[in-house]
Each structure stands twice: as structure tokens, then as C-alpha cells.
Structure 1
């Protein structure tokens, strides 16, 4: 039987090897690693606007299909849950993380001449257009396609999205372990890796706890509205949670999520409509992860996270991750542009974000899909599903 070596084990091995080899690597070897990470980082900068356009435009267009009242309520509750998760993560991370890490501990590595090895070559890959241009264009085209029902444009962007997904699945994701290896080898070469690994441990534990706090809030709301035991409802949805842990994909878990959501007593027609929709627009677990990780990276690099800067980021994140592909790392790939444009992340900070996110991507996905069951019950309660879909 062939044993599949998944992305998470590859990320862990890449980090371990990077730390080990980077600690003893001579300068010429460190510069080889830096050359790869620089070129790959430039490629990420090139493709980020295309990812934004490819995800958001068809995602918004597809939201125009379906029953009006049900679609509106489902979208509202999914977005509200995602935003609430981001705000929860912000206050938890800004309260907890400063107690476990030294502010600005990594600020010295921002000067490559002082710490990090430099690339042998400079290969510029300017993006076709900027991040904000991509966001505005995606919103404009997505809303336009949804309102006009243009089959030609929708078909084009669905195929364009498929191309971007293939690029992520067959180019970016396979090369990410090497990119992360290079980043950590360079960090070890520059003497900052111990501080990074301490961040990983603290953030990982905090994020898992926040996921379960958010799930308890979601199921408490669903249980209260439907006069059912929240813990029993959550127990019913556990098969979806563990399926998502294994697949790392909300889309791949849809059949299990639908089956378990029906067992909660929610109307089958509402569940059949809402759960596949939530798989693309409800990302409370991923939002907790991205917000928490980004605050950790900001603190390490000397940044000061403020609620006034993070609230717009959280609102935009809830939209940008719409229709993120059903592949590991899809949400963080869609968020790279916002991290750069709204929080000022540089390539090193983005690489750390990717590594932090992918280290627990399956847990974020599990929180997303498990929460879908609670939202389906809430939508059913507010729409009286037996009538709305007749």
C-alpha cells in the first residue's frame, strides 16, 4: 500500500532540515537557499493579484444563484461569523502573545547585510496589476456578472479560476516546503530561528483553543435558537471535524458535513443549499488562524498591531477568502495581497505567515466545516426552511 506523505509532514520536515542545515551552512550554501526563496517569493508577488481576481470574481458571481431570502441570510450569517472570529482572534492574540515573546525580537533580520544571506541573482517579476486594482476589478466584475447573469463571462472566470487552482495545486503547494526550508535555513544562518520556533508553539496552542471557543459560541447560539443541547449538536458534527482534519479541504468534506448537519434536525433542503455555500464563504477557523499568526509575526518584527488597522483587514479578509480553492493553503494564498497592502508585510513576513498557517491548516478547515452545521441550523430557524424552498 502506498503511503501518502502529506503537506503538513513535508512542512515539518522542511522546517527541521532548514533549522539543522542553516545552523552549520557556509555562506555560499546559505546564498543558494536565499536565491530560491527570493525567486519563489517574487513569483508569489506576481501571482497574488491573479489569485485575487480568479477567486473573488467568480465567487461573487456564483453568490447570485439561488433562493433570494435563503441566500441573503446564509451569506449574512457566514460573513458575521467570520468577522466575529477575526475580532475574537485579535483581542486574544494581542492579550496573550506579548506575554510569550519579546517585541521586535526579529527586527534585526530585516537588514540582509547584517544577518540574512543574500540571493545570487535578482529576477524581477512585476505583477500585471497591483493588489488593490485586483480587488476592485474582482468586485466590479463579480457583481456585474451576478447582476447580468452573463454566461460567457462567468464561464470564462470559472475556467480562469480552474487555471489558478491548478497553478496552486501543482506549482505553489509542491514548492512551498522548499521555500519554507530556505526561509528557515536563512533564519538559522542569521541566528533568529529559536525565536521563530517559540512563536510556532505558542501560536499553535492558542489557535486550537480559539477554534473550539468559536465552535462553542456557534453551537450555543444554534442550540439556544432551536432549543437543543449545544454539546449534543457539536458531538453530532464531530465526524465532519475529523474528516476535514484528514482532507484539509472544506469542499472534500461537504458530503460528510451535509449528512451530519441533517442529523442535527435542520431542514434537509436548507442543509443541502446552505452547506455547500458555507464551504466557500464561511471561514471562521481560517480567519482565526490568519489574524493570530499575522499578529505574532508583527510582534516579532517590531510591529504594533492596532484594532483600527486590523478591523478593516478582517472585513476585507472575510470577502477575499470567498471561494478559496479546496486545496491546502488556499485561504492564506488569497490573503497574501491583504497582508502586503493593508498590514505592510514584506516577503520574509509573508513566508513566515505561510509556514505558520500551513502548520495547522487542517485544524482551521475542521473548525470551518464544523461551524457550517451550526450556521445551517441558525439559517433554518430564521427562514422557516420548510416553506422558503418549496
Structure 2
């Protein structure tokens, strides 16, 4: 909550500085606004430099840790979690292309005023691009799993610890200043208020879609186990509200495990599936990312509504990249921003909007993720029982 308050403060300060320059001009206000934009350029370079490391170390470490269950249980859990994430993303896309143009009036915000430039260019080229990091992460993770190489496993685990420390202590702390610079630049062109007007409704749509997808997940799980899906959802509500408070899937695992077992899932299935899905199953986060992406592309100039195959490729990559989502507030959007830039052509302003929007509902996305884990566990339990009888 402190971070959300700081982000809101950053947005308000940035809008104030940019609006003063837009309204009154003058050397002082121009200097102040350009100072904010320069800060955005510096901090943005640092943020985007770290994204390949997030993908590399978190995915490699995550794959290397996928042990503890039989091969069929591991494979089926990965498959169900991935399909759930893809399904959630497609649901969000089809709803977004129908709803978002009506919310925004089907018009992009026109460009006005004069775009401010930073005092100097500050560019830190990433060590590798997003897809290179993704392929390398899978290669390293799979090799570690097969060969059980302790030295390499320690390297990726240590890299994950270091990267997570940088995210938590550096990136998260500079986000409010970075977003302040982005909003100062937008306010200086006179477009920011038209852009912000629609996003409260966008977030409400995303949260409603979370519950639609949770209902779909538990309907499938209930059919598989022969249980009432709404009773199963009711049993999982304590986990949902715990995740709302903690904003962390990992921190909610003890509550999730208890509620999953109360739904009749066998202990050995729950004990393996729930901790694994807390790291790889982020269907709620994917709904928010896709919904907000469509809204951003509808509102901001120079973007057009993505076609089905364009967004399908993005969703398929997001399902993989979500494995790399760090377990800190906003971790999912940090991991996903590289995909949005590579596949949908998002610039820094669009990514900044995504970060601000995502952080505003992060606790709801996390709650949807963790509640859905119970449905995945139920489906795996039903599958494993069926396989044993065959």
C-alpha cells in the first residue's frame, strides 16, 4: 500500500509539473518539466536494462526447481497452468476489443502541445534482447534439471537472489520517480487528462474478468471431481482475501494449501501443485496485462488495435514469461514489459502506463492467481486418479 501511495503521488506530481508548463510556459517551468523528463530517461534506462536478467535468472531457476512429483504430475501441472494462462489472456482480449473502444470513445488521444526532450540522452543497451534471454533461460534450466549440475544451479539461484534484491531495493523504489517523469512529459503536451479519464473503468473490467475466469476454472474442476464449483470457490475465499492483503502468492501458500485440502484434494497432490502454481500460474495477472494493454493501445496515439494472431503470439509468450515474474509487488508487469515492447511495440510511455495501471490492482490479480491454483490442483487430482484407475 505504501508503494501504491508513492506511485499515486508520483503521478500527481508529474501531472502538476507538466500541466504548469503546458498552461504557463516560461523558462522556469520548462526547466522543471525537462528535469522530470531527464529523470525518466535515466531511470527508464536502468529499469529496462534489468528486464533480460529477470527473465534469464527467474525462468532458469524456476525450471531447475520443478521436482518433487512424478513425471506425469509435473507435466500435467505445467500444461494445465499454461492452458489456464492462455485461456485467461484470450478471454481478456475478446472482451477488451469489444469493451475498450466503447470506454474510450474509439478515439486515440490527439497529440497536442510540444513534446519535451531530456537535457541529455542516457542509453544503457541491454546485454541481450528479450527472446535471447528467454531461450537461454530455458536451455540452462532444462540442462540443470537433466544433468543436476550443482554449480550451474547455484549460479542461477544466486543470480535470481541478486536480481530480486535489485528489483526490491532499487527498481521498486525508483518507479514513482520514473512514472512522475513520464506523466510530466504527457501533461506537458496537454493529453494526460483525456488519457487518465478511462482507466478507472478499465481496472473494474479487469477485476470482473478475474471472477469470470475463476468461475470457469472451478466449473471445469467441479466437473472433473464431481463437486459443486461454487462450494469450492466459497472454500477458497480465505485464500483470496489473504492474497488481497499480502499481494504475494508465495506468502499466501499456507492458507491456499489448507483451503485446497478442505476442498478434498489429496495431500500429496496439493503439497506439490500449490507451491509450483504459485510461481507459474498467473492467469489473473495475464487478464490484467492484456486488458490494460488493449486500453493503452486504444487511448495513446500511434497505436492500433492488435489483430488476433498478433495478440495470440503475445499471450503465448506471456504464458512462458510469467514463470519469470518476481515475487514482489509489480513483478509480473516487470517481467511482461519486455514482451509488450517486443511484440506490441510499446514505448516507455506505454510501459509506464502499464506499470501504473497494473500496480493499482496488483492485489486483485494476485488473489485471482492464487484462487485459480486451487482449481488447477483439483484438475490434476482428478487426472491423476483417472490415470491410476486406467
- Is the TM value for this pair above 0.5? yes
Cα distance in 1 between the residues matched to 2:43 and 2:75: 40
- Post-superposition Cα deviations, 1:321-349, rounded to whole Å, max 9, x if no partner, equal 10422100111111111111111111111
Instruction: Establish whether residue 35 from structure 1 lines up as the match of residue 34 from structure 2.
Output: no
Structure 1 stretches lacking a partner, 5+ long: none
Q: Is the 8 A contact 2:34 2:119 kept in 1?
A: yes
- Post-superposition Cα deviations, 1:19-72, rounded to whole Å, max 9, x if no partner, equal 334322421111011011111111122111111111111112222553211111
Aligned residues: 380
Instruction: Establish whether residue 383 from structure 1 lines up as the match of residue 384 from structure 2.
Output: yes
Q: Which stretch has the larger CA shift, 12-21 or 212-221?
A: 12-21
Q: Is the 8 A contact 1:23 1:188 kept in 2?
A: yes
Cα distance in 2 between the residues matched to 1:386 and 1:335: 35
- 1:126-275 matches, within 5 Å, as 126-275=125-274
Q: Is the 8 A contact 1:64 1:147 kept in 2?
A: no
Q: Is the 8 A contact 1:262 1:271 kept in 2?
A: yes
* Residue in structure 2 matching 1:7, options 3, 19, 27: 3
Q: Which stretch has the larger CA shift, 80-89 or 21-30?
A: 21-30
Q: Is the 8 A contact 1:269 1:385 kept in 2?
A: no
- 1:355-366 matches, within 5 Å, as 355-366=356-367
- Post-superposition Cα deviations, 1:239-295, rounded to whole Å, max 9, x if no partner, equal 111111111111111111111111111111111110000001101000001111111
* Equivalence for 2:71: 68
Q: Is the 8 A contact 2:61 2:156 kept in 1?
A: yes
User: Residue 126 of structure 1: SS of its match in structure 2?
Assistant: coil
Question: Which TM-score applies when normalising by structure 1?
Answer: 0.93
Note closer, same or farther for the CA distance 1:93–1:66 as it changes in structure 2 (3 Å cut).
same
Cα distance in 2 between the residues matched to 1:325 and 1:129: 19
Cα distance in 1 between the residues matched to 2:39 and 2:16: 18
Structure 2 stretches lacking a partner, 5+ long: 22-28
Q: Is the 8 A contact 1:98 1:299 kept in 2?
A: yes
Q: Please tell me the root mean square deviation across aligned C-alpha atoms, in Å.
A: 1.8
Q: Is the 8 A contact 1:59 1:322 kept in 2?
A: yes
CA positional deviation for 1:199: 2.9
Cα distance in 2 between the residues matched to 1:233 and 1:130: 42
- Post-superposition Cα deviations, 1:62-121, rounded to whole Å, max 9, x if no partner, equal 225532111111111111100000000010101100111144523627xxxx53321112
User: Following TM superposition, where does structure 1 have runs of at least 4 consecutive aligned residues deviating by more than 4 angstroms?
Assistant: 385-388
User: Residue 119 of structure 1: SS of its match in structure 2?
Assistant: coil
Note closer, same or farther for the CA distance 1:227–1:245 as it changes in structure 2 (3 Å cut).
same
Cα distance in 2 between the residues matched to 1:285 and 1:203: 14
* Equivalence for 1:49: 52
